[in-house]
Amino acid sequence: MLTRSAKPTVEAPSIGITETSGATGPAAAPDPGVDATPGATTTAGVSLLTTLPPVETTAAAATTPPASLEEVVGRVLPAVASIAAGQARGTGFFVRYDQVLTNAHVIEGQSSVKLQVGESTYTARVVTVAQGSDLAILQVYSPDPKQPILRLGSGSTARVGQEVIAVGSALGVLSNTVTRGIVSAIRDVGTVRLIQTDAAINPGNSGGPLVDRSGVVIGVNSLAVAAREGQGIGFAVAIDHAAPLLNGQGANASGQTPLNALNKAMGGPGEGEDLRARGEQAYTQALTWAAQNSQQLDDYWSKYAPQCVRSSVQSGDRQWFAVFEPNGVNLNVASNLDCQSWLDNLRNNATPIKNTLEQASEIARRSGVYPGVMRDLRRRHRLDWNGWDR
């Protein structure tokens, strides 16, 4: 309704076990080739950011509105970033010179993303994800200390009829798109407060700021009702939900996303559909974990396969899926590397990913998740393999 002897040895990937929501297995390693590593790690839904000064909010501050709408927009735009997360596109905004806030669904399945801010391009790592409030924090590599940021207000100060401005990358390609509207309503759905607005929120706008007439952020643009269902009905997650994450106080542990909660409030899914939705969400979380860890094995394969592999079968989205097949990898016996050890390491690290996804698939099926939906989710995370349906 809403939208990896005598021969030279090969270095095995440094993969450990971490605990995540609904899945266990090898933990994701830092981005390859990145020198400046942010001081943060994450588990699903739990922030492990290093100690940082609190993000200043303006809930109690009196701010004089600027003279014109143009001035507000001029102050906001330099702090807004377009996000490329795999095939997905979205928006985010700087709350510290080295941190960007966005929606969790924008960066779903990704451990790092690309940011475009004006003429500057950055790489950022996903450090905190809170599915319950559909929010995520990105840590920027090699940031600009002079990067403009936005001040955070509070959704509690929003008033029905108040003028607001939404900024984002409409349709994922039209960056710095600005729309204006009013606060239509304040709605508490589940554990999340949503600000309803008639300011246009289009695909690609997700994760962008909803600001008041003073340029202070009161919400994070998140979703909109499809045009065929209704006109001028968009929602932003109240910025209050971001403050605890940014200040290292942990994430909302709710298993229900704002979208699911809103659908339910609007008389959408029944009990069976609700079970299916929860199953789909759990399966997505398992795929997100697997995709983050699979990136290491992609690198491990790419580093040694040219010397160690004579031939391999192609049975899925990633080349190393060949280890799942009987005799799927034929080694180059003439190599001066210890290729058998490499293959053993690869297989040992791939097995937990395979086991986790098999378990997650079975749970999803029991929850009524359609096979086509599961297949589409796997393809979206580059985790499709012929063996899943055997």
For the stretch 179-234, pLDDT in tens is 888 998 888 877 788 889 888 777 777 889 999 988 899 999 887 654 444 456 78
Same domain, 210 and 136: no
pLDDT score, position 67? 53
Once rounded to an integer, what is the mean pLDDT over residues 357-373? 86
Tell me, yes or no, whether 130 and 30 share the same domain.
yes
The answer on 250 and 339 residing in a single domain is no
Identity of the amino acid at 261:
A
Q: Would you call 176 exposed, middle or buried from its count of C-beta atoms within 10 A (0-12, 13-18, 19+)?
A: middle
Q: Are 94 and 116 contained in the same domain?
A: yes
Residue 86 lies in a domain: yes
Out of 222, 240, 269, a domain closes at 269
Please give the model's pTM, rounded to 2 decimal places: 0.52
Based on the fold, state whether residues 215 and 288 are members of the same structural domain. Answer: no
Please tell me which residue in 21, 111, 134, 384 is annotated as part of the active site.
134
pLDDT higher than threshold 50 for residue 36: no
pLDDT category of residue 261 using cuts at 50, 70 and 90: low
Q: Is the pLDDT of residue 26 over 70?
A: no
Cα 96-97-99 angle, rounded to 5 deg: 55
Confidence grade of residue 385 (pLDDT, cut at 50, 70, 90): confident
41 pLDDT more than 50: no
Per-residue confidence band for 351, with pLDDT thresholds at 50, 70 and 90: very high
What's the confidence (pLDDT) of residue 56? 47
Pair (246, 202) in one structural domain: yes
42-83: pLDDT as tens digits: 333 333 233 344 444 444 344 454 558 888 888 899 999 999
Q: Which of 112, 206, 335, 367 is catalytic?
A: 206
* pLDDT on residue 28: 37
State mean pLDDT over 152-172.
81
Which among 236, 253, 269 is the end of a domain? 269
Domain boundary among 269, 299, 320: 269
Is the pLDDT confidence value at 5 over 50? Answer: no
In this prediction, residue 231 carries a pLDDT of: 56
User: Which pLDDT score, from 0 to 100, does residue 32 have?
Assistant: 35
Residue 12, in any domain of the structure: no
Note the pLDDT of residue 255. Answer: 53
Q: Look over the chain and give the mean of its residue pLDDT values, rounded to a whole number.
A: 76
Reply yes or no on whether 376 is catalytic.
no
Res. 246: pLDDT tops 90: no
Q: Choose the catalytic residue: 98, 105, 240, 367.
A: 105
Q: Give the per-residue pLDDT at 171.
A: 55
Together in a domain, 214 and 110? no
Q: Could you tell me if 281 and 252 lie in one domain? A: no
pLDDT in tens, 263-287: 555 554 445 666 777 788 888 888 9
Q: Residue 110 falls within a domain, yes or no?
A: yes
In degrees and rounded to multiples of 5, residue 17 shows phi and psi of -105, 130
Please check the confidence at residue 34 and state whether its pLDDT lies above 80: no
Range of the domain at 175: 155-269
Mean pLDDT to the nearest integer, 310-323:
88
Closest CA to 186 of 239, 149, 136, 143: 239
Q: What is the distance in angstroms between the CA of the first residue and the CA of the last residue of the chain?
A: 32
| Cβ contacts of 315 within 8 Å, gap of 6 or more | 321, 322, 324, 325, 328, 385, 386, 387
How many domains, in total, are found in the chain? Answer: 3
pLDDT at 80: 92
Which band of pLDDT confidence, cut at 50, 70 and 90, is reported for residue 148?
Answer: very high
| Residue 250 and residue 354 in one domain | no
Asked if 330 and 236 sit in the same domain, the reply is no
Q: What is the pLDDT of residues 93-133, one digit of tens each?
A: 999 999 999 988 888 878 889 998 988 899 999 988 888 88
pLDDT surpasses 50 at 27 = no
The answer to the question of residue 227 being in a domain is: yes
Residue 69 in domain? no
* String of DSSP letters for 262-282: HHHHTT---HHHHHHHHHHHH
Q: What percent of the chain has pLDDT over 90?
A: 18
Can 341 be counted among the known catalytic residues? no
Q: Tell me, yes or no, whether 9 lies in a domain.
A: no
Q: Closest Cα to residue 283, out of 185, 154, 370, 169?
A: 370
Q: Is 364's pLDDT higher than 50? A: yes
Same domain flag for 265 and 277: no
Q: What CATH number is associated with residue 126? A: 2.40.10.10
Output the DSSP codes for 290-321: HHHHHHHHHHHHHHHHHHHEEEE---BSSGGG
Is 105 a known active-site residue?
Answer: yes
